[in-house]
Amino acid sequence: MSSTTTFETGVQYGFFFDQSRCDGCRTCITSCKSWNGVQAGPLRGSRLFEWETGTFPNVRLNMVFAPCYHCQNPVCVAASNGTMFKEPNYGAVLIDPAQASSPSLRAAWEACPYGAISFDSDLANANAFKCTMCVDRLEQGQLPLCVLACPMRALDFGTLSDLQAKYGTNNQLDEMPSGSTTSPSVVFKPHAATKPTIVTLDTDTVLSVMATRPSSLNLPAVYSSASDVTNIPSGLMTKNALNMKATTVEQQEQLLADDNS
């Protein structure tokens, strides 16, 4: 992937994300913050959500790259009372820098199904920040830094038409909000189907062994029933489903607790 290119203007650009290649390193997030001079804390141009599905022995860790998807029909702009706009050259959805602390951006966040706008506090006039598609880099013939920084090459960037021709037209992953209204400028490749088990396990036996402790420790079993492992009670796990819209900064930091940025 070349680090410099010539970008057309007057066309819609977008992102590609390969869920099967992402290992959750969050280099995309830290590189974004570094380029934009955003300090450690709740403001983010991009986010990476992870959540678990399934139970032993069929568990899967899911990832989704979540910048702003720069929708073709950005409902956030319509709700922003003039504090946001869709930039004409690359189709980027942007916050007016002069109005980054406008209370109207709360209404824009409410409208966005992906919660792409971040705030530095829960105050009505908190400072807001979101992905800019690295328009400043595009003007210099450079790709968005998150795409260049991804060590697993899980990201790509280009005109939406080129991305769709190369990767298909899937703009939604499991558990994500529908893109039917907003038409997000993104293409997703879902993770690959689970491969057959390499080593066959007797699940019941494994669960029984895992529950026991050496008699010399004089401690109770780790769990009393295998169903304690295979049927996880509601509320026990905080990341067993995708939640892209934290209602407070505290909740956002809990959902993105592994962000380290």
Average pLDDT of the residues in 86-104: 97
pLDDT at 258: 65
Q: Label each residue of 64-114 as H, E or C.
A: EEECCCCCCCCHHHHHCCCCEEECCCCCCEEECHHHCCCCHHHHHHHHCCC
Q: Which domains does the chain have, with CATH numbers?
A: 13-193+239-255 (3.30.70.20)
The three-point CA angle 217-223-229 to 5° equals 140
Q: 81 burial class (0-12, 13-18, 19+ CB within 10 angstroms)?
A: middle
Question: What's residue 122's pLDDT?
Answer: 97
For residue 106, how many other CB atoms are within 10 A of its CB? 19
Q: Are 145 and 134 in contact (CB under 8 A)?
A: yes
Q: What's the pLDDT tens digit per position in 66-77? A: 999 999 999 999
Rounded distance, CA 102 to CA 81, Å? 10
CA pair distance 203, 131, nearest whole angstrom: 45
The pLDDT mean for the chain works out to 92
Cα 193 to Cα 27, 196, 214, 219, 230: the distances in Å are 25, 9, 38, 40, 21
pTM listed for this prediction: 0.89
Contacts of residue 31, Cβ cutoff 8 Å, sequence gap at least 6: 145, 146, 148, 149
- Whether 202 shows a pLDDT value over 70: the answer reads yes
Confidence of residue 196 (pLDDT cuts 50, 70, 90): low
**pLDDT, tens only, 115-144:** 999 999 999 999 999 999 999 999 999 999
Q: Which residue has the higher pLDDT, 6 or 152?
A: 152
Taking only the tens place, the pLDDT of each residue in 165-189 is 999 999 999 999 999 999 999 999 9
